Structure 1
Amino acid sequence: MHVIFETPRLFLRRFTEADAKLIYKLNSDPEIVKYVHEPVLENEEQAKKILTDFILPQYKLNLGRWAIHTKADYEFIGWCGLKYIKETGIIDLGYRLLKTAWGKGYATEAAQYTLIYGLRDLKIKVITGMAHVENIASIKVLEKIGMKFTRDEIIDGQPVKVYTLSLPETTDIC
């Protein structure tokens, strides 16, 4: 198991092809994918394709959507991570949790540590987070972790709020 980092209550690890059932569990619930501009999955084969075509290739860039597990019982609760979006050149912070994990602060905790990991450890200059305008919970997560609203945009025909965060440029003072 390739653990990326730990938080006080969670650990985030790389997915493997064997995790198709976890992606299926997450993406087969219409409420979970309601605001993410993706279809509801109908079977594990579709989940495996998401893993092999979208999630696993990001690991070559030291980025990716990482499986979130609780430290207490190793329960899978969703994913969080950073993804390079080739069309726009941005590094996107994203998260998706099972409904049983909603309202417990897990999304904020995972997103905060992912943001720190990206800026500090991966030396990413700017990280972007986007949320559908009606996804109030996701917008609150982005604001809680210190991301700043930059603009409204239309992505895949859907209205989203775009947030960014970057480390300030440092200057050497002699």
Structure 2
Amino acid sequence: MTGGVMITTARLSLRRPGGADVGLIYALHTDPLACAHNPGDLLATRAEAVGRYRAWDAHWRRYGFGYWSVLRDGAAVGFCGVKVVPWDSGEALNLFYRFDPAVWGGGLASEAATAVVGWVAAGVSGRPVVARVRPDNVASARVAVRAGLRRARWLDRYGEDGLDWIFTSG
């Protein structure tokens, strides 16, 4: 795995985020609608968006993968990817997807998440993929299922914003 990993689908290109993506990180993470189910992800300042980008970049440098910028027709519309997180007595890959609300409902999150989970299955072994979904976030649960994850009620836990339903690949 290298920092240059790209994923393409029928409609999307997923590439490693760069400094130019700080604007979209800021826009999505200051949008109450985009973060409605995870208000703990909201940012207050552009400096916080720079910090978020730096954390994502550090993950890429350490592991050779992370959260990708998702582009449709050359324009960034969101982010999707996985990051290593502590999980029970080991580690898991947390599946993340956040898109501009203007593109919601078109299947882009499902398409990107399916591609990411497929990429993990083809080359990143030893860690299950998990998606933490707030119980009232029906759309996010659908994305997790469409990406190939299964509901794992016995793994549900409380996170920063309350109860998280867990979906997993393993």
Q: Which residue of 2 aligns with 1:98?
A: 100
User: Relative contact order: is structure 1 or structure 2 higher (C-alpha 8 Å, sep ≥ 6)?
Assistant: 2
* 2:38–2:161 contact (8 Å) kept in structure 1: no
Q: CA deviation at 1:64?
A: 0.9
Q: Which residue of 2 aligns with 1:172?
A: none
- What whole-Å deviation, never above 9, does each CA across 1:11-45 have from its counterpart, x for those lacking one? 00111233211111111100111112424323321
Q: Which residue of 2 aligns with 1:66?
A: 68
Unaligned runs of 5+ in 2: none
Identity of aligned residues (%): 26
Unaligned runs of 5+ in 1: 167-174
Runs of 4+ aligned residues of structure 1 deviating over 6 Å after TM superposition are none
Moved more, 16-25 or 106-115: 16-25
Structure 1 residue corresponding to 2:129, chosen from 89, 109, 127: 127
Using structure 1 for the length normalisation, give the TM-score.
0.86
The aligned runs of 1:5-84 (5 Å cut-off) are 5-52=7-54, 54-59=55-60, 60-70=62-72, 73-84=73-84
- What whole-Å deviation, never above 9, does each CA across 1:112-157 have from its counterpart, x for those lacking one? 0000001112234421111111111000111122211112221125
Q: In the comparison of the two structures, how many residue pairs are matched?
A: 163
Alpha-carbon distance in structure 1 between the residues aligned to 2:100 and 2:13: 16
Is the radius of gyration larger for structure 1 or structure 2?
1
- One-letter amino acid matched to 1:110: A
* 1:20–1:45 contact (8 Å) kept in structure 2: no
- Is 2:162 the partner of 1:158? yes
Corresponding residue SS for 2:131:
strand
- What's the RMSD between the two structures over aligned residues? 1.8
Corresponding residue SS for 1:133:
coil
Using structure 2 for the length normalisation, give the TM-score.
0.88
* 2:82–2:96 contact (8 Å) kept in structure 1: yes
* 1:153–1:159 contact (8 Å) kept in structure 2: yes
Alpha-carbon distance in structure 2 between the residues aligned to 1:137 and 1:5: 23
* 2:96–2:131 contact (8 Å) kept in structure 1: yes
Alpha-carbon distance in structure 1 between the residues aligned to 2:44 and 2:119: 34
Alpha-carbon distance in structure 1 between the residues aligned to 2:34 and 2:104: 10
